[in-house]
Amino acid sequence: MLSRRIVPCLDVRDGRVVKGVRFRDHIDCGDIVELARRYRNEGADELVFYDITASPEGRDVDVGWVERVARELDIPFCVAGGIRSVEQARRVLHAGADKVSINSPALQRPALIAELADAFGVQCVVLGVDSLRDDDGDWRVRSLSGDPSRMKAHAKPTLEWIAEGVKLGAGEVVLNCIGSDGVRGGYDIEQLRAARAVCPVPLVASGGAGAKQHFIDVFQRADVDAALAASVFHDGSIDIGELKATLASAGVPVRQAAIPDIAGMASA
Amino acid sequence: MEPPANIPRVALIDAGGANLGSVRYALARLGVDAMVTSREDEIARADRIILPGVGAAGPGMRLLRERGLLDVLRDPPAPLLGICLGMQLLFDGSEESDVECLGLLPGLVSRLPESPGIRVPHMGWNALSALRATPLLDGIQAGEQAYFVHSYAAPVTSDCVAECEHGIRFAAVVQRGLIAGAQFHPERSAAPGSQLLRNFIGLGARDRSMQAAGEAACPA
């Protein structure tokens, strides 16, 4: 049976891992490769590196650190942020990333999703969706959320955008519920359940993890394939090995992590 | 790290797949400096041949044809391991783009059916169930999980040595003589993945090479 995945997300700025609350106030948390190795050894199933500076500033992703991670890591990882063309995606994938995630550039030009799927296959293409509930009660997408001063609201309803993105060729969707992000009150189960109903490809929950129970809830009640979190892993308040043991005893299928170090590392 | 003695020459075929770098790094972690090549003469001199692949069957086969690699792959001079799409290309054909493949293994690759709770692509860690013992699976424990990302899959035939299940059963690892394949990504499957690569290259814990196994299974 396919395991549900636990995915730590590392926000990257200038080649370092940083963290923030509600996308603000970033502080340095350490070296990318060191943190990647730590999470891999704790039993993370996959990592997401989100270049939070790339998209708002119109920069390219620096592939130097992507290659450093790819050389060391023996679990899959995805790179998000700053990818707006097939050529840029190719550089990131050839540097060793397994998937690329696109968000604002896909909203600006939805055909990008199809171009990436044609070039690399749907399994390499992740659609990142930042979503917020508006005053009228509907969820709508946001873009450029890496920088609050430039974040844009769109008229596009979140659920419609997810369905459109999958039709265009997204092989996975990460739904980041901005309203619950960074405040550790739990995932937005209602929104994720609604997204699940329109999303035939793997769906990753993002935003709101604060306790182990939140992970049990999101897998059992929203039927997501993976749960992404950042700060609770970075500050050690949730240990991934313990989280997986808790999930397993709650009946959620997970990959149990009894993990020797990365091949070649131990004897180095 | 000092490279172990008697490291075989590994030809890593550049078939345009995006996971070429990841496979090369995984081999480097084992102390193997693979030769990335799309030249027939270099492949012909290798001790091990790896065909990685990500993408669709049609473009994958077209690229191998354009690079003039069909003959050497249809009669490989050394043990051959296909990874992900590279494994699917070993079969007779694929429903994906309705394409004829290398024909080294009988059977047709077809799309995984979606059903309630079964999402396609099959993406994530899933358990391997060994169907028979082979040196290729040495050191990989029953039920260990590997990382899969694919929408198409090969059938469970007599060449299947380990299967996996996602809605239906499908081939996770295949082997017939010198021909082998992994549907999952050994380069991204932590310990079981690196063990499979070690076994294929002949660096396994018991240091039994696949060449010996292949010759035993397939006397000339």
Q: Do A74 and B26 touch (CB under 8 A)?
A: yes
Question: pTM for this one?
Answer: 0.90
Q: What is the pLDDT of residues A190-237, one digit of tens each?
A: 999 999 999 999 999 999 999 999 999 999 999 999 999 988 998 899
Q: How far is A200 from chain B (nearest CA, A)?
A: 6
Dihedral angle, C-alpha B157, B161, B164, B167, nearest 10 °: 10
Q: Where in chain B are the domains? A: 10-108+174-216
Burial (0-12, 13-18, 19+ Cβ within 10 Å), A251 = exposed
ipTM score assigned to the predicted complex: 0.90
Chain B positions contacting chain A at CB under 8 Å are 1, 18-22, 25-26, 28-31, 54-56, 114, 117, 119-127, 145, 147, 149-151, 165-166, 185, 187-191, 193-194, 198
For residues B161 and B176, give the distance between their C-alpha atoms in angstroms, rounded to a whole number. 9
The pair of structure tokens assigned to A158 is 């979140």
Is the peptide bond preceding residue B121 cis, with omega within 30 degrees of 0?
yes
The pair of structure tokens assigned to B41 is 């003469």
Q: Is A13 helix (H, G, I), strand (E, B) or coil?
A: strand
Tell me which residues of chain A, numbers 201 to 230, contact chain B at a CB-CB cutoff of 8 Å: 201-203, 223, 225-226
Instruction: Cite the active site residues of B.
Output: 84, 185, 187
Contacts with B33 from chain A: Cβ below 8 Å: none
Q: Does residue B136 contact residue B180 with C-beta atoms inside 8 Å?
A: yes
Option in B31, B56, B114 nearest A200 (CB): B114
The tokens 């990685």 sit on which residue?
B52
Question: Bridge partners of B97?
Answer: none
Q: Does residue A19 contact residue A30 with C-beta atoms inside 8 Å?
A: no
Q: Position B133: which residue type?
A: A
Q: Is B188 helix (H, G, I), strand (E, B) or coil?
A: helix
Active site residue A28: no
- Please state the length of chain B: 220
One pLDDT digit (tens) per residue for chain B, 220 residues: 444 557 789 999 987 776 788 999 999 999 999 999 999 999 999 999 999 987 788 888 999 999 999 999 999 999 999 999 999 999 999 999 899 999 999 999 999 999 989 999 999 999 999 999 999 999 999 889 999 999 999 999 999 999 999 999 999 999 999 999 999 999 999 999 999 999 999 965 433 444 444 444 433 3
Contacts with A225 from chain B: Cβ below 8 Å: 119, 123-124
Question: Bridge partners of A11?
Answer: A18, A50
For residues B20 and B121, give the distance between their C-alpha atoms in angstroms, rounded to a whole number. 20
Q: Is A149 helix (H, G, I), strand (E, B) or coil?
A: coil
For residues A222 and A206, give the distance between their C-alpha atoms in angstroms, rounded to a whole number. 12
Q: Identify which of A137, A210, A144, A204 has the alpha carbon closest to the alpha carbon of residue A177.
A: A204
User: In what helix (H) or strand (E) does residue A21 lie, and over which residues does it extend?
Assistant: strand A16-21
User: In what helix (H) or strand (E) does residue A69 lie, and over which residues does it extend?
Assistant: helix A63-72
Pairing outcome for strands B48-51 and B122-127: unpaired
Q: What is the 3-state secondary structure (H, E, C) of A36-89?
A: HHHHHHHCCCCEEEEECCHHHHCCCCCHHHHHHHHHHCCCCEEEECCCCCHHHH
Structural domain B10-108+174-216, CATH architecture: 3-Layer(aba) Sandwich (3.40)
Residue A149 makes CB contacts below 8 A (sequence gap 6+) with: none
